[in-house]
Amino acid sequence: MSTQLQRSEQETDESPQEQRLERKRFDESEREAQRTEEESTGDETPYVHLKVFRYDPEVEGKREPHFDDFRVPAPQGTTVLDALMYARDEFDSTLTFRHSCRQAVCGSDALFINGSQRLGCQTQIQDLDQRPVRVEPLPHQEVEKDLVVDMEHFYDQMEAVEPYFQGETPDEEEQLQSRENREKVKMSTRCIWCGACQSSCNIAAGDNEYLGPAAINKAYRFAMDEREDDDIKQHRMNILEQEHGVWRCQTQFSCTEVCPKDIPLTEHIQEMKREAVKDNLKFW
């Protein structure tokens, strides 16, 4: 089944999504080429210099935000999360950050790495251009301690779009979805609630009530699901059409740029804007 799907994907022309991934891969290989001389010279383990944001309201002397430096071994394949864990385990056990799956699945370690929102576990040290590697908590969210930010507001926005399936379940029957419909929502289902997109969006930063890219993408995932009926879809559109809903997006593409799951967020937001326009134009 899955191989069939993959094959059918390859047969079609490259979708926008694939082209974008292609481009990302290209950037990646370019960066790798730049780095071959660096770090791999000599046969001893390469080290990386980390500059890590520190703040702890409960400890005298750490109440003023500052940066700590760590020199951490970074053999090929070391991720920023690996490096942070090394720093914590070997040098400073009070260094605090969230993590769990270490494989870009749980969404707990979105960080501001070298000026961009990325998952610590998905970002390899050798793919980063600047040294030292600067690790900061996500911007536009309050810092609780070190790299840990308050995610409450992000979760509130996600909850606001009712991020769960609301189709009628026929008795003892499967909820079948057409293959086309599954393809349509495929990318949108990949969200891991990491908050990187919300943090990168400076519209969201300026307007706390703006639903933000992740929530609108979540709404897209269900509004586009044909198994939900028209009433529910209308209800979902009503949420999106509010003043601080889809219209706030000004197509900066920052969210799409940073999303670790490569969800075409701006595309989905734009589609919801058009749905909202159609919903309000009554002459067809």
Partner 1 sequence: MSQSHNRGLIEDFGRWREFAPGMWAWIFHKFTGWVLIGYLFTHVAVLSTAISGPQLYTTTLRSLESLLLVRVLEVGLLAVATFHIMNGIRLLFIDLGVGLESQDKSFYASLVLTGAIAVASVPTFLSGAF
Radius of gyration for the chain, computed over Cα atoms and rounded to the nearest angstrom? 21
Q: Which of residues 104, 205, 226, 247 is near partner 1 by CB under 8 A?
A: 205
Question: CB 260: neighbour CB atoms within 10 A?
Answer: 21
DSSP one-letter code for 261: T
Shortest reach from residue 263's CB to ligand SF4, in Å: 5
Please list the residues that pair with 117 across neighbouring strands: 112
Q: Which of residues 35, 62, 99, 227 is near ligand FES by CB under 6 A?
A: 99
Q: Which residues inside 104-163 make contact with ligand FES, applying CB under 6 A?
A: 104-109, 119-121
Whose Cβ is closer to ligand SF4: residue 160's or residue 265's?
265
Say which entry of ligand SF4, ligand FES, partner 1, none residue 106 contacts (CB below 5 to 8 A, set by partner kind).
ligand FES
Q: Is 100 in the site for ligand FES (CB under 6 A)?
A: yes
**71: helix, coil or strand?**
strand
Q: Is 215 in the site for ligand SF4 (CB under 6 A)?
A: no
Of 114, 134, 125, 136, nearest to 45 (Cα)? 125
**Sign (positive/negative) of CA torsion 170, 171, 175, 178?**
negative
DSSP assignments along 212-228, one per residue: -HHHHHHHHHHHT-TTS
| Rounded CA separation 90/22 (Å) | 38
Residues lying near partner 1 in the complex (CB under 8 A) are found at 16-17, 19-20, 55, 57-58, 65, 112, 114-116, 136-137, 139-140, 142-145, 150, 202, 205, 250-254, 256-257, 264, 266-267, 270-271, 273-274
Residues lying near ligand SF4 in the complex (CB under 6 A) are found at 191-197, 213-214, 217, 259-261, 263, 265
